[in-house]
Structures are given as structure tokens and as C-alpha cells.
């Protein structure tokens, strides 16, 4: 069976940007599969016309089953939104390598495997759109976030190569670079920084992180709504010729412009001030 509606798969759909995107695409006429590990949170989307799909990016069988389910039920896949991810924070000296590897497994390798599994469907139907949710942190790095930044820097390069490889098949690749967004991400990132480095030689840096870019009463309070990102994802999904990158949300363009114009040392100073 082949769906008469365009079909979208959105990962990390249980909250934040993923949930907002899944709802928005469903309202726009897409048949949307919302994927995440938390089945209970996914059920909240069913009333908005989103089909829940329990997926673990760390498990090959889970990824294979999910794409095969979409192929069997809908017969097509027009849009893949790779939104699932998290921030592993803490000093490089303190974060166990096993946790660093898991950061890459989720933010890059799980995403890449889902792309591999989805491409035969897209090529067979003559095209599609892959939207990878990166971050301003994929271009601008600060202390205590080395593994998160590294995973997003890698995603940026991965996406550039992928875009060129897939152009002959009509498959578009788009990168979205959010700035500060009101989601659960900040609290989880701060918790990981405190767990790894909150009581050691880097504790003052962690305190600065809490007062600065992850401050729930400062930067995070001024952060943009997930709907801002969901709206641009919808725009990119519908566009015949989308931009290769979209940067938006609180401080997104400011951060990227500063990275382009400032020297490394000046950028280090600016980042230190932002971190309190």
C-alpha cells in the first residue's frame, strides 16, 4: 500500500522540537510517524494525528523494524527529520570515554544508520528531504561541551557530504541550526555537567555554565519556542529547493556571525563571558 499523503518520520518526537514538528507536519497534511524511546510520551501525540513509533537509535533491530514498518504501511517516505539527540556535558578530563562514545552513537551514528535505511525508499520514489537538526553548537564551541560540540561539528560535515552524494537522486539534505530553545535539553545538559565535573577541579566552570548559557532564569528564560524551529522545518520540507542551512532561535544568528567575524581568542573571551 502506498499512502496518498506525503509521509514524514520525526525522531525525538516525545518532547520539545520533535513533538512540535510532528504536530505541525500532521496539521499540514503529512502522514507523520513520531519516533522516540518513551512510548507513554508518544501517546500524547496520537490525538494530533501523529502515529507513535517506539525507536531506540542505539539498537539496529529497532531502526530496521521502524523503517520496514513505514515501508509496509505507507509505502513511501518523503521527509526524514533527524531531531533526536542530547548534550553530554562535563570536562574532557572527567567524562568517561564510554559516555563520550554514547554521545556519538546517538547524535551521529544512530542518525546515520537511519539515513542509510531510509534512502532506498527515497531513491525508489525519485526523491525526498532529509532534515538534520544540528545546532549553533555545531559551529561555535565552548568549554565543558567538547563531546556534544564534536558530535554536532561532525553532523555538519556529514550533512555536507551527504547533500552532494544524494543530489543526483533528487534527495535534498538540510541542516537546521537552532539557538537557545525552550526544551528539556538544557536541564539535562546541566545535570550531566554537574555529575561529571560539579565537585572537582572544574566546579567553578560548571557554576559558570549554570549562571550563563544554561541559566533557567536567564538565557533559557529568553529562549525561543520549539514552534520557531518546527515552522522552519515545515518550510524546508515543503520547499522544492530548500536552503542548505537554516539558523534561527535565540542568539543563533548572533553566535554564528560572531564565529565568522571574530578571531579564535576573541571568540574564547566572548564565550567565557556568556558562561558567566
Q: Is residue 116 part of a domain?
A: yes
pLDDT of residue 97: 98
Give the number of other CB atoms < 10 A from CB of residue 112: 17
Phi, psi torsion values for 255, nearest 5 degrees: -65, -45
Q: State how far Cα 165 lies from the chain centre.
A: 21
Helix (H, G, I), strand (E, B) or coil at 81: strand
C-alpha distances out from residue 158 to 8, 80, 194, Å: 21, 15, 30
Q: Is residue 1 part of a domain?
A: no
pLDDT of residue 68: 98
pLDDT of residue 192: 96
Residue 125, domain CATH: 3.40.50.720
pLDDT of residue 221: 62
* pLDDT band at residue 197 under the 50/70/90 scheme: very high
* pLDDT band at residue 250 under the 50/70/90 scheme: confident
Helix (H, G, I), strand (E, B) or coil at 70: helix
Active-site residue list:
148
36 is in which domain, residue-wise?
A: 7-274
Does residue 159 contact residue 175 with C-beta atoms inside 8 Å? Answer: yes
- Count of helix runs (H) and strand runs (E) in the chain: 11, 7
Q: Is residue 94 part of a domain?
A: yes
pLDDT digits (tens, 9 = 90+) for 11-70: 999 999 999 999 999 999 999 999 999 888 899 999 999 999 999 999 999 999 999 999
Burial of 167 (C-beta count, 10 Å sphere; 0-12/13-18/19+): exposed
pLDDT of residue 152: 98
Q: Is residue 2 part of a domain?
A: no
Please, what is the average pLDDT of the chain? 94
d(CA 69, CA 121): 12
Please choose, from the candidates 258, 95, 107, the residue with its C-alpha nearest in 3D space to the C-alpha of residue 179.
258
Q: Is residue 260 part of a domain?
A: yes
Does residue 13 contact residue 34 with C-beta atoms inside 8 Å? Answer: yes
Q: State how far Cα 69 lies from the chain centre.
A: 23
Does residue 32 contact residue 25 with C-beta atoms inside 8 Å? Answer: yes
Q: Is residue 11 part of a domain?
A: yes
pLDDT digits (tens, 9 = 90+) for 94-143: 999 999 999 999 999 999 999 999 999 999 999 999 999 999 999 999 99
pLDDT above 90: residue 78: yes
pLDDT above 90: residue 275: no
Q: Is residue 164 part of a domain?
A: yes
d(CA 28, CA 266): 44
Number of domains in the chain: 1
Residues β-bridged to residue 133: 176
Amino acid at each position: 500500500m502506498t499512502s496518498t499523503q506525503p509521509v514524514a518520520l520525526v525522531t525525538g518526537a516525545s518532547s520539545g522540537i520533535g513533538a512540535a514538528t510532528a504536530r505541525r507536519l500532521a496539521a499540514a497534511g503529512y502522514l507523520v510517524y513520531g519516533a522516540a524511546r518513551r512510548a507513554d510520551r508518544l501517546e500524547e501525540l496520537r490525538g494530533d494525528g501523529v502515529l507513535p513509533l517506539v525507536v531506540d537509535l542505539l539498537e539496529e533491530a529497532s531502526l530496521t523494524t521502524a523503517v520496514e514498518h513505514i515501508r509496509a504501511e505507507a509505502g513511501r517516505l518523503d521527509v526524514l527529520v533527524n531531531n533526536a539527540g542530547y548534550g553530554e556535558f562535563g570536562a574532557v578530563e572527567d567524562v568517561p570515554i564510554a559516555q563520550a562514545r554514547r554521545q556519538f552513537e546517538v547524535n551521529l551514528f544512530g542518525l546515520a544508520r537511519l539515513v542509510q535505511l531510509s534512502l532506498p525508499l527515497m531513491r525508489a520514489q525519485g526523491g525526498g528531504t532529509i532534515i538534520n537538526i544540528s545546532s549553533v553548537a555545531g559551529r561555535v564551541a565552548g568549554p565543558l561541551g567538547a563531546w556534544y560540540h564534536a558530535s554536532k561539528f561532525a553532523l555538519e560535515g556529514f550533512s555536507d557530504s551527504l547533500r552532494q552524494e544524494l543530489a543526483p537522486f533528487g534527495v535534498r539534505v538540510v541542516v537546521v541550526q537552532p539557538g537557545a530553545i525552550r526544551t528539556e535539553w538544557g536541564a539535562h545538559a546541566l545535570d550531566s555537567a554537574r555529575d561529571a565535573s560539579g565537585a572537582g577541579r572544574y566546579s567553578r566552570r560548571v557554576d559558570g555554565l549554570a549562571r550563563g548559557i544554561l541559566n533557567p532564569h536567564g538565557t533559557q528564560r529568553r529562549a525561543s519556542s520549539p514552534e520557531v524551529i518546527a515552522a522552519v522545518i515545515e518550510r524546508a520540507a515543503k520547499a522544492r529547493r530548500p536552503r542548505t542551512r537554516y539558523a534561527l532561535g535565540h542568539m543563533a544568528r548572533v553566535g554564528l556571525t560572531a564565529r565568522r567575524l571574530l578571531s579564535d581568542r576573541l571568540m574564547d573571551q566572548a564565550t567565557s563571558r556568556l558562561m558567566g
